[in-house]
Amino acid sequence: MSQVGTKGNPLRVAIIGAGPTGFYTAEHLFKRKDLVVEIDMYDSLPTPFGLVRAGVAPDHQKIKSVTKVYTRIAQKPGFRFFGNVKFGKDISLEDLQDHYHQIVFCTGAQTDNYLNIPGADLEGHFPATEFVAWYNGHPDFRDLEFDLSQEKVAVIGVGNVAIDVARILCLSRDELEKTDIADYALEALSNSGVKEVYVIGRRGPVQAKFTTPEVKELGELEEADVFTLPEEMELDELSLKELESTADRGTARKVELLQSYAENEPTGKPKQLTLRFLVSPVEMYGDDQGHLTGMKLVKNKLYATDAGTLRPAPTDEFEEMEVGLVFRSIGYRGVPLPDIPFNKSWGVILNEEGRIIDPHTGEPVVGEYTAGWIKRGPSGVIGTNKPDALETVEKMMEDLKTGAYLQPSHPSAADALEMVKEHQPDFFSFQDWEKIDEIEIERGEAVNRPRVKLTTVKEMMEAVGKQTAEPVV
């Protein structure tokens, strides 16, 4: 039997998760000289690309162009995609151990951080990630309902996701039609009653995480005027110091832009978007039916930690905000996978430089690895996952050299295909995805949009000619 990783005995790798990290992991593996590798990439959705498809804002088409890189990787010989196959439901860890030498989990962060304040369970308070998945046509979220008749909406958080949500709520029908937003969302948003949108940050403008291009976009909306409050734009001593010492030119530009919005006058546009700083929600109120009607906010001041980070501390000044729909955008959070060691407090798989660790022994679990947001935590841009995936692949290669890999009982590609067919006969190949891609773009061309997405698994199955089960009467 020849060495694993050579032509006679290719290294068989399973990658769970077909988002950017999964593809970067595959790319690094294919790039290794003298390594013959076969990669099977699994995803619970029929479509690949993870948050690039379901998270990136529909009006940010340029960011989505990174999928061309992933498509090139997917077209390499030795690569297979198995979509609509869910780890933990359709395939188990044991199934993978029987068929692969190494398994890499790149499942990202599927849920969001909770806001632990009274009233947080009232109807009308949603994670921003669900709203984003809904308007991006994610099959698991397309049936959610949001009361867009509400005039006042708040978004808690000042990262790029929060800004995306605020912006999407303010886009005109014209602007929405230039995007690949799900068609039902286009209708719902074009007909919304939203008039005032508030974005709420607990720290000041210098610390806000959204980036300058996103802030600039807010000043260029057809149907919304953007404002900041002059008193919140006056920088405190600590923030001024931070701006001078640690912040870069980009941050200075961002702060200048935000400060300029304090001088804006209403120009008669139908919507108003206000960015608030140094306030945190401490309570949500509702009516007798359990619907959200407002929030209590506390004003914050900043203090410096030992290590120099500026953090918020509440003062004893409060304010009331009337609002009927709230999206919390305070960070993604990883979800534990069955049979995989998990660090609950940080929401990541227990790992060291990408090797999954057994919590009882402190030793690496043979053949199991992780990369991306489920390894390190959910932050950074798409490309940040590329060096992260490289670190994991380097550990995989070290372990390959020392013989620390799984001994699958059925290591052939044909066996793995049989295993998938047995557990999920309705799996989607990459060619199936390319067919769906073609159909979506065609539908888009008919209405002058970049694409019109298919948003249910049933539609996708029909589109690629798979039999759909008749509903049980």
- Note whether 138 binds other proteins by CB under 8 A: no
- Note whether 250 binds other proteins by CB under 8 A: no
- Note whether 279 binds other proteins by CB under 8 A: no
Write out the binding residues for other proteins, residues 156-175 only, by CB under 8 A: none
Stretch that binds other proteins, among 131-139, 151-159, 183-191, 369-377 (CB under 8 A): 369-377
Q: Give CA separation, 269 vs 122, 164, 178, 198, in Å.
A: 31, 19, 20, 16
How many other CB atoms sit within 10 Å of the CB of residue 4? 21
- Note whether 351 binds other proteins by CB under 8 A: yes
| Four-residue CA torsion sign, 268, 272, 277, 281 | positive
Shorter beta-carbon distance to other proteins: residue 345 or 402: 345
Going by their DSSP bridges, the two strands 355-357 and 351-352 should be labelled as antiparallel
Shorter beta-carbon distance to other proteins: residue 219 or 341: 341
- Note whether 379 binds other proteins by CB under 8 A: yes
Write out the two tokens for 473: 């009467």
Report the nearest approach of other proteins to the CB of residue 29 (Å). Answer: 18
The phi and psi torsions of 226 (rounded to 5 degrees) equal -110, 140
Tell me if 80 sits within 8 A of 26, measured CB to CB: no
User: Residue 431 is which amino acid?
Assistant: Q
State which of residues 144, 313, 381, 447 lies at the interface with other proteins (CB under 8 A): 381
Tell me if 39 sits within 8 A of 67, measured CB to CB: no
Write out the binding residues for other proteins, residues 57-76 only, by CB under 8 A: 61-63, 65-66, 68-69
Distance CA 285, CA 455 (A): 34
State which of residues 190, 293, 384, 429 lies at the interface with other proteins (CB under 8 A): 384
- Note whether 463 binds other proteins by CB under 8 A: no
Shorter beta-carbon distance to other proteins: residue 331 or 367: 331
State which of residues 223, 391, 434, 437 lies at the interface with other proteins (CB under 8 A): 391
Distance CA 455, CA 136 (A): 9
- Note whether 333 binds other proteins by CB under 8 A: no
Produce one character per residue of 405-443: b if its CB has 16 or more CB atoms within 10 Å, e if not.
bbebeebeeeebeebbeebbebbbebebbebbbebbeee
Report the nearest approach of other proteins to the CB of residue 376 (Å). Answer: 5
State which of residues 230, 338, 387, 403 lies at the interface with other proteins (CB under 8 A): 387
Distance CA 100, CA 197 (A): 50
Shorter beta-carbon distance to other proteins: residue 95 or 242: 242
- By CB neighbour count within 10 A (0-12 exposed, 13-18 middle, 19+ buried), where does 143 fall? exposed
Which residues in this chain contact other proteins in the complex, by CB under 8 A? Answer: 61-63, 65-66, 68-69, 242, 245-247, 305-311, 343, 346, 348, 351-354, 357, 362, 375-377, 379-388, 391, 450
